[in-house]
């Protein structure tokens, strides 16, 4: 009786304390780390930072605030998860102990409906097989064909005319949407032998692209829900965000199945050996009647469309704020063009793009600050200890955060906020007695924008070539001017890829 009375009297105090903690403003994330409470762990801090962008910014702040750049987050009803920006830890999980750090069942379950058994969502032998088949698409011969035929024609016949018309009419374009259409056409043509024609002058309605974006966003939401069983209940009853995800995935699968049917028909009507694109290789390698081929298509659409278009979008944004860098890139583009004319060299587009060393460094620097993939996740298959001493138990998830690492003073020095391509370059003497830039790559585990180790992105070179060709084609003719008030900063929206929230409205001006 006395205990009940005491509990009754203290209940308002507990409630007020709970409300105060939940709704109190977070402390300066750069100087403090959240407190973990018995049973509920960091639930209060997680709740205070609820929301996709807020929770991501909070996680980045934990990396920056922690003395070791590593922090263990405790959540109720599940194992602790580790978030790190320590290069030695990243090398440990991506290379040294690669065999015990997998995508894991949690990651696979969360993305199963969307990515299925595609290469980004599998481990072990299935991952090795898909990577081996796909790797043939990224040799020098294929890359040369991609740039000289696919990218160059899409650029000259579709992108440039649209930009030229926008410059003439002063029409505002959503450059992020334009670049997504551009990269989507390209990945479909080179990987599947199919042209969806999304970048026609009329900018046709892109129902598939909208459904694809919804599938990405809603799949990411599963990782953000504090209590995972909630989304599973929603899926069981087909309600809420899970109902929307099901509808979006259905549209994505419908489009992907149509691509597969078209390719099978083409291969049946002609000699199968004549087909050389990525989809043809998978169909000839035993996936003819396997639904996994649809998952493979969706995965490569995500990798080929979203990551490259995101990198280009942020590149044009940051370039507008750094005129000196833009001028240096334009100068490089013009010099390459002059050299070709003066020597009457028949050097092709592929070789010209490879010569764009300063532009390459500029892209590396923009992706340091705005990585296309904001976070990587692994799950431990056995107990382990990270190089910084953090204990890992079997089943724990570890997240490394390229966005936080790219903005770390410990890694990049006190000038980390500066957009400075020169940090990737050094001047060397030429045989003629002059100087030129030489690219100096950084440690992959300090800069895991393309991951590293055995699972390093196999499309890295293709992505760079495409981005540099777009930069050369656009900046030689136009200036990209964001439609934004002075001081405006776009929002980095972290899903499976990192888009610019709300799009990127710009005006195009012809360069004189």
Whose CA is closest to 369, among 209, 190, 500? 500
- Asked if the model's pLDDT at residue 316 lies above 70, the reply is yes
Supply the pLDDT for residue 27.
Answer: 45
**What percentage of the chain has pLDDT greater than the value 70?**
91
pLDDT category of residue 337 using cuts at 50, 70 and 90 = confident
**What percentage of the chain has pLDDT greater than the value 90?**
74
262-281 b/e (C-beta count within 10 Å ≥ 16 → b) = ebbebbeeeeeeebebbbbb
Supply the pLDDT for residue 339.
Answer: 66
Supply the pLDDT for residue 434.
Answer: 82
Supply the pLDDT for residue 343.
Answer: 56
Distance, CA of 405 to CA of 445 (rounded, Å): 10
- Asked if the model's pLDDT at residue 384 lies above 60, the reply is yes
pLDDT category of residue 345 using cuts at 50, 70 and 90 = low
Summarize pLDDT for 425-438 with one digit per residue, the tens. Answer: 999 988 877 888 99
Which class is 28-510 in CATH? mainly alpha
Distance, CA of 363 to CA of 312 (rounded, Å): 8
In order of 23, 186, 303, 351, 465, the CA distances from 140 in angstroms are 56, 17, 19, 11, 11
Average pLDDT, the chain: 90
CB-based contact 40:73 (threshold 8 Å) = no
The arithmetic mean of pLDDT across residues 346-364, rounded, is 88
Stretch (H or E) spanning 82: strand 81-84
pLDDT category of residue 139 using cuts at 50, 70 and 90 = confident
pLDDT category of residue 227 using cuts at 50, 70 and 90 = confident
CB-based contact 191:197 (threshold 8 Å) = no
Whose CA is closest to 87, among 414, 509, 443, 459? 443
Summarize pLDDT for 466-485 with one digit per residue, the tens. Answer: 999 999 999 999 999 999 88
The arithmetic mean of pLDDT across residues 387-409, rounded, is 97
CA 190 from chain center: how many Å? Answer: 20
pLDDT category of residue 181 using cuts at 50, 70 and 90 = very high
- Asked if the model's pLDDT at residue 344 lies above 70, the reply is no
CB-based contact 442:90 (threshold 8 Å) = no
pLDDT category of residue 24 using cuts at 50, 70 and 90 = very low
Supply the pLDDT for residue 179.
Answer: 98
**pLDDT: is 32 or 329 the higher one?**
329
Q: Which residues pair with 480 in a beta bridge?
A: 508
Supply the pLDDT for residue 341.
Answer: 63
pLDDT category of residue 348 using cuts at 50, 70 and 90 = confident
Supply the pLDDT for residue 195.
Answer: 94
The domains of the chain are located at: 28-510
Supply the pLDDT for residue 50.
Answer: 83
């Amino acid at each position: 009786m006395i205990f009940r009375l005491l509990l009754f009297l203290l209940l308002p105090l507990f409630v007020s304390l709970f409300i105060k903690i939940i709704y109190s403003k977070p402390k300066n994330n750069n100087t403090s780390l959240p407190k973990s409470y018995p049973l509920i762990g960091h639930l209060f801090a997680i709740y205070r930072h609820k929301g996709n962008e807020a929770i991501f910014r909070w996680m980045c702040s934990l990396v920056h605030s922690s003395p070791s750049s590593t922090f263990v987050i405790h959540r109720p009803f599940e194992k602790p998860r580790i978030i790190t920006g320590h290069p030695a830890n990243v090398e440990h999980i991506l290379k040294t102990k690669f065999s015990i750090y997998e995508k894991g069942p949690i990651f696979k379950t969360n993305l199963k409906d969307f990515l299925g058994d595609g290469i980004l969502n599998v481990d072990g032998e299935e991952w090795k097989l898909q990577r081996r088949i796909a790797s043939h698409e990224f040799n020098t011969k294929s890359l040369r064909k991609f740039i000289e035929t696919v990218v160059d024609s899409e650029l000259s016949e579709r992108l440039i005319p649209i930009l030229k018309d926008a410059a003439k009419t002063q029409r505002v374009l959503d450059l992020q949407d334009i670049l997504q259409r551009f990269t989507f056409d390209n990945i479909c043509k080179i990987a599947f032998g199919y042209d969806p024609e999304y970048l026609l002058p009329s900018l046709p309605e892109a129902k598939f692209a909208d459904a694809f974006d919804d599938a990405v966003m809603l799949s990411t939401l599963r990782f953000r829900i504090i209590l995972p069983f909630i989304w599973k209940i929603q899926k069981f009853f087909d309600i809420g965000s899970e109902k929307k995800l099901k509808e979006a995935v259905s549209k994505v699968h419908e489009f992907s199945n149509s691509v597969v049917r078209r390719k099978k028909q083409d291969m049946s009507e002609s000699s199968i050996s004549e087909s050389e694109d990525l989809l043809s290789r998978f169909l000839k390698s035993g996936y003819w009647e396997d639904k996994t081929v649809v998952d493979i298509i969706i995965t490569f659409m995500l990798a080929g469309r979203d990551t490259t278009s995101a990198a280009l979008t942020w590149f044009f944004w940051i370039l507008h704020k750094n005129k000196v860098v833009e001028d240096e890139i334009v100068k490089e583009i013009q010099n390459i063009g002059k050299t070709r004319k003066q020597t009457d060299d028949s050097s092709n587009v592929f070789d010209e793009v490879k010569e764009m060393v300063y532009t390459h460094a500029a892209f590396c620097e923009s992706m340091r600050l705005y990585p296309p993939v904001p976070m990587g996740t692994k799950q431990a298959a056995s107990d382990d200890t990270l190089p910084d001493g953090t204990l890992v138990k079997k089943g724990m998830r570890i997240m490394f955060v390229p966005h936080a690492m790219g903005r770390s003073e410990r890694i990049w020095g006190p000038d980390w906020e500066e957009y400075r391509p020169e940090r990737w370059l050094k001047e060397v003497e030429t045989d003629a007695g002059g100087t030129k830039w030489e690219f100096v790559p950084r440690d992959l585990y300090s800069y895991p924008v393309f991951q590293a180790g055995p699972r390093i992105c196999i499309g890295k070179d293709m992505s760079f070539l495409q981005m540099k060709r777009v930069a050369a084609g656009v900046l030689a003719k136009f200036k990209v001017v964001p439609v934004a008030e002075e001081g405006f900063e776009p929002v980095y929206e972290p899903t499976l890829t990192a888009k610019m929230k709300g799009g990127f409205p710009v005006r195009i001006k012809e360069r004189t």
